[in-house]
Every structure is written in structure tokens, then in C-alpha cells.
Amino acid sequence: MSPASGIGSPRQSLHGQWSSRLAFILAVTGSAVGLGNVWRFPYIVGDNGGGAFVLVYLACVLAIGLPLMMSEILVGRRGRRNPVMAMSLLAQEEGSSRHWGLVGLMGVLAGFIILSFYSVIAGWSVAYVFASGAGRFSGADAAQVGSLFEGLTSSWATIGFWHTLFMVMTVMVVARGVEKGLERAVRILVPALVGIMLILLIYAITSGGFGDGVRFLFQPDFSQLSGASVLVALGQAFFTLSLGMGAIMAYGAYLPEGTSIGSTAITVVIADTAIAILAGLVIFPIVFANGLETAQGPGLIFLTLPLAFGNMTGGLVFGTLFFILLTFAAWTSAIGLIEPAVAWMVERLKLTRAQAAVSAGGVIWLLGFATVFSFNLLADVQFGAGTIFDNADYLTNNLMLPLGGLFITLFAGWVLSARVTRDELALAGEGRYRLWRFLTRWVAPLAVVAVFLNAIGLLRLT
């Protein structure tokens, strides 16, 4: 971030500010739009039975995700510090415990674990740039695409290499603090990604599986919905919007005064959700048209999209471009994952940005090998949610993010006074503020608790 550009604020930021509202929207969109939309959304929808799951996910995005995104931005901007220090400072100002900072610390930890596997999957995307460019998708059938994917993931050295490359890319940007350039790239990147996905959509419509795909996504069959899958839907809402770990809070700390938090959050939520749905509309028709299973796990997009690219005109160019764009989208998200940790290390431990980025990145890189091995050497190590990767994913997305989100929403609704939140949100009209506060104090916390209780069987919602 570059130094503040003279925008007056009640509290001086410990670091720079975004140059404009648009820069902030782009940064938050860059963080939100990533593998969560294109890779994770389709695969967990596939694993969790389709339409009913999608409906619960949408409800979570609207009733919990949107108000929580506003809360994170407002806490960040009010505190003007990394999430750990912002929460502890604001809590003390309200006469509450500084231990609220622990919520921020849990977010830092969640970011470490998420990035450790996120980087491995992003590495697959980099590998597919080259596979597509070399024409490996051309005319391929499901079996050939399957063996391409199998060949990639079964070699720990290969995916370890791509994971390393992706971590180096991430650390370089964060160390130099040149996010600005990358955020500006979001302006081209996201529309370009949507553009290729629309081309894929045309392919999907003509694939012969479109009707089945749409029915799978939008026709709710509530018998498919378990307590466990409601929690997964909630976790996906958090993950895809980068909520519950302080990433958006860290970005909010750089937001100029006077920028509308409500409309920023709405813009990002709509864009993010639309891109996830679009991904679903592309993937499932391909699944049905090729007689594949919907529940393919984390390989789903890597097993379906090459079929589309390999069998459409211009597929080589579009396929290569698509995986380049997906890698970029993952890159801008990875930066958000590491930002709370780096901001905290710089402001608290007084490291330079480069030292903080390299040391945090080094730990995350090492941790990533647990995920790398879980697809080959340690594939048979299964416990809890499945492989080591499945457990890291479950722990962060279904437990840490919802728990972090619960505490942040309680913090914004109950610890912060109405004077502070009303002033900071500056929503047009008292009605909107009341709605935000009601969702934040009651709906979001009770919903998260209910989903947890339901998942462990203490409450029967589903």
C-alpha cells in the first residue's frame, strides 16, 4: 500500500490507504473471487447433492455474509490496524476485554492453513496453463483427461514444484507491497474471466447436458440435505467471501473515510455470487453430458473443463487463457489470505514487509507439503473428514471461519456501541442501519450457532 494520500481520518492509519473507493472494491473483489468460486463451489455442490445445498448457501451469503462483510470493513477502518490489534483496541475503547484480539489471531492462523492448501490447488491451475498450451486437451475424452489429472497429482514432486512457484509469486507481491498493481489488474482480470466463462456457458448450453445441469443446481431436493451439509454451505459462504478470518478487516484498515461500506459490500457480494453460479452452470452440464459423477471431489473442474476446451473451436487459446486468469484470480486471493499475518507482524513485531512476507510465506510453503503429499504419498492416510487436505479444508472452512465470523459479528453487534457503528457505516437511512444491526446482533450469530448445533446433531433443522 502506498502512503496515505491526505485523506483526513479520526485515527491515523499505521499504514497506507487505498487511493479510491474503486481501488478498494477491486481489492476486495480480488480477494473474494478466486478458487472458491470456480474450483470449490462446483465441487462441494457436487459432493452435497445440488439444489437444496445451493439454496442454503445463498441464504447464508445474504443473511450472514453481507452484514458480516460490512462489520469486518467497519472494524478494520475504525481500528486502522491489523485485525488482532484493531479488535483489541476497539474492545478496550468500549470498556471491554482486549482479549478480543485473539479472534484476529485465530484468523491469522486460519489464513496460514488455508493458504497452505490454496497454493497447492492454484499450482494445479498453473500446471494446466502449460497442459492446455501444449495441446494436451485437444480432442481428449473423459478417460484421457482423467489420466492427465491423475498423472499430475500422483507426482508429489510435480505438484510440489507448482505449489512452490505459486508461493514465490505470492510472497514477491506481498513483500514489495505492490498489491496496487495487482488490484488494478483485477479490473481487467475479473471481466476477462467472466468473458471466458460465458464462452464456456455457450458450450455448456449446446453440450446436451444443460437441462440436467440446471436441474441439479436449482431444483432443491431437501432429502439430499444433511446437518453436515448445511454447515458446509455456511463454510462455503464464508470462504468465498473471504470472511471470518480478518482478511476483509485488514483491507478495511486501508479504506479512506467517507467511502460507503454498504454499497461496497453489496457490489462485492453480488459479483462473487454471480461468478460462482456461472461456474456451476458451466461445470454440471459438462458432467452430465459426459456421463460423469457429480461427486468428484477437488478434481472436479480439472476433470471437466478440459473436456470442454478440448472439444470446442478455439479451445486451445481459451483453455490456456482461462487457466492463466484462474491463476491470477487465485493470486489476488492468496494475497488477502496472508495480509492479516503480514500486517500484524509489521505493526506488532516491527518486521519489515519483506521479512514478514518471507517468514510467513516460508511457514505456509512448508505446511503446504502436507496437502501435496495427501494426493500421493499419504493418500491412504484417512481420518476425520478424509485425507490430510480434506481435514485442513474442513478445519478452516467449516470450523475456524464460521467461528471467527461468529465472534466478529458478536463484536460488531454487541461490543461496539451503536454510536460507533452507526457513525462508521453511515448508511443512507436509519431503516438500513436497523436492519444491519438486527442481522448482526441476532440473525447471524443465532444462525451460525444453530448450524453448528444442527451439524453435531443437537438440533434438528434438517
Looking at beta carbons only, is 114 or 292 nearer to ligand PFF?
Answer: 114
The interface mask with ligand PFF, positions 275-314, x = CB under 6 A, is ----------------------------------------
Q: Are 348 and 139 in contact (CB under 8 A)?
A: no
Query: Which of residues 34 and 262 has its CB atom nearest to ligand PFF in the complex?
Result: 34
Phi, psi of 386 (to 5 degrees): 135, -125
Q: Rounded to an integer, what distance in angstroms lies between the CA atom of residue 40 and that of residue 76?
A: 27
Q: Which is nearer to ligand PFF, 114 or 231 (CB)?
A: 114
* Chosen residue from 13, 17, 29, 31 binding ligand PFF by CB under 6 A: 31
Select 89 or 271, whichever has its Cβ closest to ligand PFF. Answer: 271
- Other beta carbons within 10 angstroms of residue 95's beta carbon come to 8
Q: How far is the CB of 108 from ligand PFF (least distance, A)?
A: 10
State in angstroms the smallest separation of the CB of 285 from ligand PFF. Answer: 22
* Angle, CA 259 vertex, CA 328 and CA 4 arms, to 5°: 75
**Minimum gap (Å) between residue 39 Cβ and ligand PFF:** 8
Under the criterion CB under 6 A, does residue 242 sit at the interface with ligand PFF?
yes
By CB under 6 A, residue 32 contacts ligand PFF: yes
Indicate whether 34 belongs to the interface with ligand PFF (CB under 6 A).
yes
Query: Any idea what DSSP says for residue 386?
Result: B
> Largest alpha-carbon pair distance within the chain?
66
**Is 123 a residue that touches ligand PFF (CB under 6 A)?**
no
Residue 192 neighbours by CB distance under 10 Å: 17
Closer Cβ to ligand PFF, 103 or 114, answer by number = 114
By C-beta, is 13 or 242 nearer to ligand PFF?
A: 242
- The answer to whether 327 and 346 are in contact (CB under 8 A) is no
**Residue 64 CB, nearest distance to ligand PFF (Å)?**
15
Nearer to ligand PFF, 32 or 265 (CB): 32
CA–CA distance, 394 with 102 (Å, rounded to integer): 21
Distance in Å, CB of 61 to ligand PFF, minimum: 12
Bridge partners (DSSP) of residue 383 are 386
Residue 442 CB, nearest distance to ligand PFF (Å)? 25
Q: Hey, is 7 helix, strand or coil?
A: coil
Closest distance between ligand PFF and the C-beta of residue 54, in Å? 16
Instruction: Count residues binding ligand PFF (CB under 6 A).
Output: 16
Residue 164, H or E segment: helix 156-176
Work out how close the CB of 448 gets to ligand PFF at its nearest, in angstroms, rounded to a whole number: 17
Q: What is the residue-wise DSSP string for 102-140?
A: HHHHHHHHHHHHHHHHHHHHHHHHHHHHHHHHTTTTTT-
**261 counts as binding ligand PFF under rule CB under 6 A:** no
Q: Which residue has the cell 459462504?
A: 237
Examine residue 254 and tell whether it contacts ligand PFF (CB under 6 A). Answer: no
In sequence order, what DSSP letters do the residues of 170-216 get, joined into one string?
A: HHHHHHHT-HHHHHHHHHHHHHHHHHHHHHHHHHHHTSS-HHHHHHH
Alpha carbons 187 and 183: distance in angstroms, whole number:
7
Return the residue of 333, 374, 421, 454 that touches ligand PFF, per CB under 6 A: 333
Q: Does 247 bind ligand PFF (CB under 6 A)?
A: yes
Contact indicator for 397, 405 with CB cutoff of 8 Å: no
Using the minimum distance from each CB to ligand PFF, give the nearer residue, 34 or 315.
34
Q: Which of residues 353-392 bind ligand PFF (CB under 6 A)?
A: none
The distance of closest approach from Cβ of residue 35 to ligand PFF in the complex, given in angstroms and rounded to an integer, is 4
Nearest to 326 by CA among 134, 133, 132, 39: 39
Regarding 119 and contact with ligand PFF (CB under 6 A), the answer is no
Q: What three-state secondary structure class fits 383?
A: strand
**Burial (CB count within 10 angstroms: exposed 0-12, middle 13-18, buried 19+), residue 403:** middle
**Is residue 396 at the binding interface for ligand PFF, with CB under 6 A as the rule?**
no
**Residues 201-240: x where in contact with ligand PFF by CB under 6 A, - otherwise, as a string:** --------------------------------------xx
Among 122, 271, 337, 360, binds ligand PFF (CB under 6 A): 337
Residue ranges in contact with ligand PFF by CB under 6 A: 31-32, 34-37, 111, 114, 239-240, 242, 245, 247, 333, 336-337
